[in-house]
Structure 1
Amino acid sequence: MNSTPPASAGIYVRVSTANQIDKDSLHTQEERLRAYCVANQIPVFKLYKDAGFSAKDTNRPALKDLLRDAESGLITSVFVTKLDRITRSTKDLMYLTEFFEGISIRFASISENIDTTSAHGRLLRQIIGVLSQFERELVAERVSVDMSHRARLGKWNGGVVPFGYTTQELYSKHLIDLGTESPDASLQSASLYPEQKKLYVYQSEAKVVNNIFQVFISHNSIRKTAHALNNQGFRTRNGGHWGTVSVHRILTNPTYIGKTWYGKRRSDPVTGKLIAQDKQDWIICDGQHPSIIDVDTYESVQVMLKSISTKPTNSKRNYLLSGILKCGLCGGAMAGNTTSKKNSDKTYGYYKCVNRMQKGLEACSGLNIPSVEIEKYVADSLLALSENKEFLTDKQKILDLFFTQNSNSKINACDLSQIESNIQLLQNRLDNLLGALECNRIDGDDFDRRYAVLKKEIDEAKAARDHLVGLINEKDTTKTFLLTSFENLCSFATNWEFLDDVGKALRLKSIVREVRVTSQFVDIDVFIDVGEVFHTGRDSWRKPA
């Protein structure tokens, strides 16, 4: 394989339309860039040419090729005649300069004396960054002011439509889901709910909202409210079971007393992360939509919610299988739960089905699995497997089979080389066609027809190339992942006894994809296909306290 030159340039040229060659033609751009590279003794690796593409965004075939080759290390410099040849967008210019800087690619506009390796170029880069940041913050500020103004006028600011309400758009989608044709659905929805972006009471859901408030007042428990709703057959808008989070969201939403609100969270101008705001800083105003719950009921519920004491966890127990242990009955997650007996400081750890805890018997009959027992069983199973001679033999068979099946990588490389040659040939024909147009050897209609055919052939060839590259990369990734997974499993016992709970949890999660458990079996699914591991008969497990 030929080594890449110490310094090699990608030169990029572009004109805006296929039928109109502007004064800064493709040929002129190329000549100037090649002359610049010769003068600076920089070999040209490849010419990247986008003919008939606007610079309004980066969705251009030759530019994509350039970025891919830059990321692959095939070029060390990128040159354009002017910045507007590669982009006319400040945002895209920021992205491109950051991209090139991140992979140590020199980027320069030769006619504007802008070079990211020079002090002047770096200064310009910083100025562009500051201006771009200012633009983003200014836009965010304008949007915030507009939405704040809408909230003060009592208008809904959009987002997820609260349960119990509907909008013209949401009801139209509902009708379409029921089989109504889109035009008819739009007309029916507009007749029932004439104003767009306004909340209207949806009676079937509003009855459920009323029921949620009444059930909570009766039980004084969010969890019991969710269980009661599910037992009574009530379902969410998507047909799912009610959980504690969705019930709490409804109980605390001022929309249901006819209020609009804004400012619950604000975006940090630097990081973009949403930051929760104090409730006293929210904008809450009378809305233009009707209420579902009366104010007295809503306020009573808020007082009850504050009175519910949420006991902080007193457990220092780390649950090693958190995130990978699943209930074998419903498929939901199982969460660590610490309990203690009365008049005793001793605590007991259990994994409990989250669906059972949050949604009740309607969602799952539930499981209570002692944490120490299941964690020990999983760890012992992996320790035994890492020392099992039959497994080690299977390991070598799996690796040998994989390498045998993928021994045709040379054929893939040969196919890829042929496709690349074909793309270059088609690109040369396209360049000749553009040259003929510039020299007026063909008319516009003939150019359009031949250009469309060539573009289609090039796009198809590039799609085939990308598909083949994906297959090759996938095989390489699979090989690396398979070797790493085997190594992690075979070395599982190394220093296991010296690891703390955090280290043990990390090691387990590097090997185990998922553990499914019922009272009859444990199914351990590791990241490599070495067969399932089952265990039956858990009579020896300590029963829940």
Structure 2
Amino acid sequence: MSTDHQRYSTENQLETINRFAAAREIEIVRVYEDAGKSGLNLEGRDAFQRLLADVERGSADFGTILVYDVSRWGRFQNADHGAHLEFLCSRADIIVHYCGEQFENDGSIGSNLLKTVKRVMAGEYSRELSVKVFAGQCRLVEKGFRQGGMAGYGLRRLLIDENGESKSELAIGERKSLQTDRVILVPGPAEEVEIVRRIYCLFVELGIHEAEIAARLNREGIFTDLGRPWTRGTVHQILTNPKYIGDNVFNRVSFKLKMRRVVNTQEHWVRARGVFTAIVEVATYEHAAKIIEERSRRLGDDDLLNLLRALLAAQGSLSSLVIDEREDMPSSSVYRNRFGSLLRAYHLVGYSPQRDYRYIEINRRLRAMHPDVVATVINGLRDAGGEVRVDPETGLIDINGEFTASVVVARCGETPGGSPRWRIRLDTGLAPDITVAVRMDHGNTSPLDYYLLPRLDMTEPKLRLAECNGLSLDGYRFETLDFLFSLAARAQFEDAA
């Protein structure tokens, strides 16, 4: 369990399991329990990993595993993951029973169908909850409340009640305990605030670089808020973080559903300006940002790549932290801005990181492609004789004042077995009459085909497509957009008659 609320407390689960075992004369020989752990993946679920290890080693002294329900086995985002783990148990002649479910896990068609649906529902619950939580966090950020993360040097987290009254200052590692409480950032001790302002003064007015500033602070025996020596990176972080001018910034880095850690570009930040007490003047902060930007402009692309190659030769690997700690080269943000992403810069110097960052490049390319696809749709509709208007705020396309359409680009992904899959999210908020879903090819470089999905026939907000999906979906599949364009065409009354 990830929380101890209601029926998912481990005590309640064990009570149901005990009744199930007693009714079937099953002796419970061992309990594997992971309290306060998420079921999104195996990370942190030490007891569950021990259970699987006992099964795979053949050292299990039991023939049955009892689980409260399918969601306690895991809320894996890929339903096949949970099925694979159960298959490992089946291969070892150990059966898994879900004690709180309304079906027997007996291998029948009905139980297998229900179990598959339950697995998908368990993962979908986490996805929907993630969307709701993120939306709630964004609203709180816009209202000026801090969402997660440490305060940083020179700042402190202050706990306030629902009426905005101060309650107490939160120490490192402490969290609020009441749902109605909120957290804001306030200036820290006067000596820390003065150090922050001094850092900006040394950098902006005296032109001293981050590495020398860090060396000065270390020589004076001044440590960071974590009690560590200063580095070029920690000084650079202070010079580039907008929270020091009172801005509340969220979603700089995302790690949704514990799947992938993504460093987001500024266009995806959620930012509320001037909601905290600033400890640095906005003009000073902007001056520092301009210096950092101009400093990198003096170096050409080849110069930046040569520095990166030298760093790779010296370190053997590259990361944003390794780059930021290097004293004689620009920061990692410079490489992102100049080359579009760190991954592209790595590729240009012949470095392939161990982690697979291709999804970042693919998503960025698809986002860049979307306006061109929309333009193609609009031009095709107009060329067919249709009157097209586009809502500048929502992007909803109005055709002839008769029906509306929206365009989505579906990224091609793969199952663990290598089969292609496409996920399509229908924009239920805008409620277009037709959703034009562009399925990308296996390499996500060009459109494969098109689905024209009418709102009246689409009952779910999300679709997961395979290569073949049956007539209920593939009946709306087209090789080109000619059929869509024909819907906008106008004919003379005599011809129509």
TM range, smaller chain: 0.3 to 0.5
Q: Which one scores higher on RCO, CA 8 angstroms, separation ≥ 6? A: 1
Point out the structure with max Rg over C-alpha: 1
More helix by share: 1
Q: When the two structures are superposed, what TM-score results if normalisation uses the length of structure 1? A: 0.42
